Structure 1
Amino acid sequence: MEQVLNWIVENQEMLLSYTVKFIVAILILIVGKIVANSVAKLMGKGMQKREMDGAVVSFLTAIIRTVIFIAAILMALSQVGVQTTSFVAILGAAGLAIGLSLQGSLSNIASGVLIIMFRPFRAGEYVDAGGVSGTVQEVNIFQTILKTPDNKVVFVPNAQITGSPITNYSREDTRRVDLLIGVSYDADLHKTKEVLTGVLEAESRLLKDPAWNIQVHALNNSSVDFIVRPWVKSEDYWGVYWDLMREIKLALDKNGIGIPYPQMDVHLHKD
């Protein structure tokens, strides 16, 4: 114990120096964390004032926060005597090894950059991406966050999104409602078209330009199929779709036009 105390007394200046450096390094990390969050927050507010897309804002602020904090770590290591040049070289070699083992994660980062650059969708738009349909909430470094119509939050890897077709339902102002209505072979086709036209004329949310289209589409085994294709504003799509299906059924019933079901004729032959 006496030897330990003697060593401390003899090296108290060195211990004090290292203690101060260690405390400074800790302070650098704390301040770096605060600065990273503050700068990212300020830049995020600035980009929002310029009405930049929310997905782009969240992605860029995440990168800025990470870069600043990494710089703070290097400064803290330099303060305690670690040669940052050698450390960066070691970090680069380790990064290469880690990169080879984390190809999936790096692919997600690269895909996130592509999504931000080409912007196939924006925050708030309803899309089908990576096999998931939902409203875009955020695009971050590794994944895109979607909220489904039944209020589930789905985290989709960015690489999965860029590796598959993306359907954006919100990008255009108008959409076409595609209905396929089957009627009986006994139905009067001219009267059926008149009934369908009357239903469309009664729906105020349909657009006049482009004009709707009603045509006989196919002669199936059990039905004569009509296509009914009006145009609506994108935000009215589902409301119009459901209302038209209901009103068409009611109108066909009222006019005695049957909607067939699959059937088969069986012929019996006696010997």
Structure 2
Amino acid sequence: MLKGLKLAINTLLLAVLVLLPSLATADTATNVNAASADQGQLLLEKYQRQQARIEKIQASLDELPSVEQQAISHRLLERHLHAFETIDQLAHYLIEQQAKGIEQQAMLSQIEQIINKNTQALSQALDKRQQQFNKQYAEQEQDSIKAFQLYTEHLANVDLIYSALVQQVINQQALGFAVEEDKQQLLDRLYARAEVFSGMVGLVGKKREELARLIKISQDDQSLKDQLATITEQLGVAGESFKLTVNLLSQLGFDAAFYQQTLLKLGGQITTDVLDVDVLSGIIQRWISRMSEYFIDNGGEWIFKLVLLVGIYYVFRSLSRLVRKVMTKSLDSSKLNLSSLMKEMIISSVARVVIIIGLLVALAQLGISLAPILAGLGVAGFIIGFALQDTLGNFAAGMMILVYRPYDVGDIVEVAGGVFGKVKSMNLVSTTILTFDNQTLVIPNSKIWGDVIKNVTAQRIRRVDLVFGVSYTDDIEKTEAVLQELLDKHPKVLSKPESIVKLHVLNESSVDFIVRPWVKTDDYWDVYWDITREVKMRFDKDGISIPFPQRDVHFYPATAEASQMAK
């Protein structure tokens, strides 16, 4: 019997151990359900308190003055939006419960009534706020700053209301409520609002173009600039609300591709979220359609104008070449003493003017107004000039070289602090020098004009400066006669001006003669080298020495006292 009792007790303990986890799980689920139910109940009670405050304020609204009524109306909108936040939290809570398979029919019925009531309240608030805005804006329309502030505040409030209404429709759909009627009414409101914004884009765009034209005419008119700034700011604020409206329409399933395309006209008021495939395809289709219609209507005319444009260009290009040839022959045969650079500049300028005239004639035939093009070229010239200051400095230096003609092509010059060679070519920006060791150097004109310019070949004749030294023991008169004889016999030495042979300096180691014959510029180096060679050969023949530097060294015998000190 004891054994049977022990067996029964052990069986009972085993059953308890097996059932304990199940009991714990059931208790946990019960606690979770209770907690969830408490959360939903807390949100419901919170909304009821908020709604009680709203009703209390609305009951006393008619007894207040008009100024206070406006303030209370603004505050009521904030309270409605706070109540919407609580409703939204409660709706999300119920959606999560449905996802877990937990049905709360009583609370679902309550939330449906609450959402309908809040939707009605927000719609009424929206209509009332629109009426107040119309009245206040009419009163403040003359004051642009206050009117803009009022407009900005109104759009911000309306955006919040529409966002709340759309979210409530989405919540109703997720909870399985019938929302077709409310959804259609909201779509109609948003559609009408999008139409207003779409029309505003076009009107404001035209207004801005008109103001921009007037500002170009009256650049000092500050009122026009203020108007342009005001409507630009209004367009920016409206663009944000327009974008929100388009997004809300898309959330409700409305095909808002057309309005998304209109948003592109705002420039900077859009982001990549509106650039979807539908928008891009719609834009491309509209462009293709418009281009097709345009070319069907105007294709023949444009083809004719294009042919005319090409014909005018080739006619004036041929005329430019003819003018270049005529000008070249005319300037070459002219007695005017013009530099090569001046001739090239005149010829190129005339040829380019002919081309420019042809282009302007061609553009005029296409119906393009030339005034904006010329104005644009002026602005572009100012910008380019500011950016290319160094180049313009070279151009100005080139013009000075052109006018004063310190050198010409073919001259041998020393410029830019030591560059020596022959001028190979030159233009208004730089000069090309070919050195005597066959190096090509391109030097900016500003470097040349801002330094000393030595033109070796500018004069027809030149003086060759030579110096020859002889010993102090040589016959001075004989040496002078030999040097003069060498100059007189050389065929390239000119008789006039007369050559000069003079004793010039008594140096430390030599007696120096200066020898200065006059020659033609082209014969300079031939004479220089010939005379130098002849002098050396003649001095050697006549026994005239060409001394090298000498020093006399004197040795003095050491005294006895110095020798003793050295030891």
Using the size of structure 2 for normalisation, the TM-score is 0.43
The structure whose residues are more often helix, as a share, is 2
Structure 1 residues 68 and 105: alpha-carbon distance in aligned structure 2, compared to 1, 3 A threshold: farther
Partner of 2:385: 99
**Are the aligned partners of 1:37 and 1:65 in contact in 2 as well (CA < 8 Å)?**
yes
Indicate the structure whose relative CO is greater, using CA pairs within 8 Å and at least 6 residues apart: 1
Alignment of 1:74-93 (within 5 A): 74-93=360-379
User: Structure 1 CA distance, aligned partners of 2:312 and 2:552?
Assistant: 85
User: Structure 2 CA distance, aligned partners of 1:102 and 1:222?
Assistant: 59
SS, match of residue 371 in structure 2: helix
Alignment of 1:128-147 (within 5 A): 128-130=414-416, 131-147=418-434
Residue 8 of structure 1 aligns with an amino acid whose one-letter code is S
More off after superposition, 4-13 vs 206-215: 4-13
User: Structure 1 CA distance, aligned partners of 2:389 and 2:441?
Assistant: 22
Residue 527 of structure 2 aligns with an amino acid whose one-letter code is V
Structure 1 residues 76 and 106: alpha-carbon distance in aligned structure 2, compared to 1, 3 A threshold: farther
1:48 is the counterpart of 2:332 = yes
Structure 1 residues 98 and 2: alpha-carbon distance in aligned structure 2, compared to 1, 3 A threshold: closer
Structure 1 residues 51 and 145: alpha-carbon distance in aligned structure 2, compared to 1, 3 A threshold: farther
Q: CA deviation at 1:265?
A: 4.0
Q: CA deviation at 1:178?
A: 0.4
1:115 is the counterpart of 2:406 = no
**Offset from partner CA, 1:106-142 (integer Å, 9 cap, x none):** 2232233322322223444333344433444444232
**What stretches of structure 1 of length at least 5 have no aligned partner?**
none
User: Structure 2 CA distance, aligned partners of 1:204 and 1:2?
Assistant: 91
Structure 1 residues 117 and 268: alpha-carbon distance in aligned structure 2, compared to 1, 3 A threshold: same
User: Structure 1 CA distance, aligned partners of 2:345 and 2:511?
Assistant: 52
Partner of 1:14: 298
**Are the aligned partners of 1:62 and 1:141 in contact in 2 as well (CA < 8 Å)?**
no
1:69 is the counterpart of 2:69 = no
Residue 169 of structure 1 aligns with an amino acid whose one-letter code is V
Structure 1 residues 114 and 196: alpha-carbon distance in aligned structure 2, compared to 1, 3 A threshold: same
Aligned partner of 2:343 among 50, 57, 61: 57
SS, match of residue 205 in structure 1: coil
Bigger Rg over Cα? 2
User: Structure 2 CA distance, aligned partners of 1:161 and 1:2?
Assistant: 61
User: Structure 2 CA distance, aligned partners of 1:6 and 1:89?
Assistant: 31
User: Structure 1 CA distance, aligned partners of 2:290 and 2:452?
Assistant: 73
Aligned partner of 2:515 among 228, 242, 245: 228
User: Structure 2 CA distance, aligned partners of 1:89 and 1:57?
Assistant: 30
User: Structure 1 CA distance, aligned partners of 2:295 and 2:444?
Assistant: 54
Give every structure 1 segment of 4 or more consecutive aligned residues whose post-TM-superposition deviation is greater than 6 Å. Answer: none
Alignment of 1:197-216 (within 5 A): 197-216=484-503
Partner of 1:34: 318
**What stretches of structure 2 of length at least 5 have no aligned partner?**
1-283, 559-567
User: Structure 2 CA distance, aligned partners of 1:7 and 1:62?
Assistant: 41
User: Structure 2 CA distance, aligned partners of 1:246 and 1:107?
Assistant: 48
User: Structure 1 CA distance, aligned partners of 2:333 and 2:441?
Assistant: 28
Q: CA deviation at 1:95?
A: 0.7
**Are the aligned partners of 1:55 and 1:137 in contact in 2 as well (CA < 8 Å)?**
no
How large is the RMSD of aligned CA atoms in angstroms? 2.9
More off after superposition, 115-124 vs 229-238: 115-124
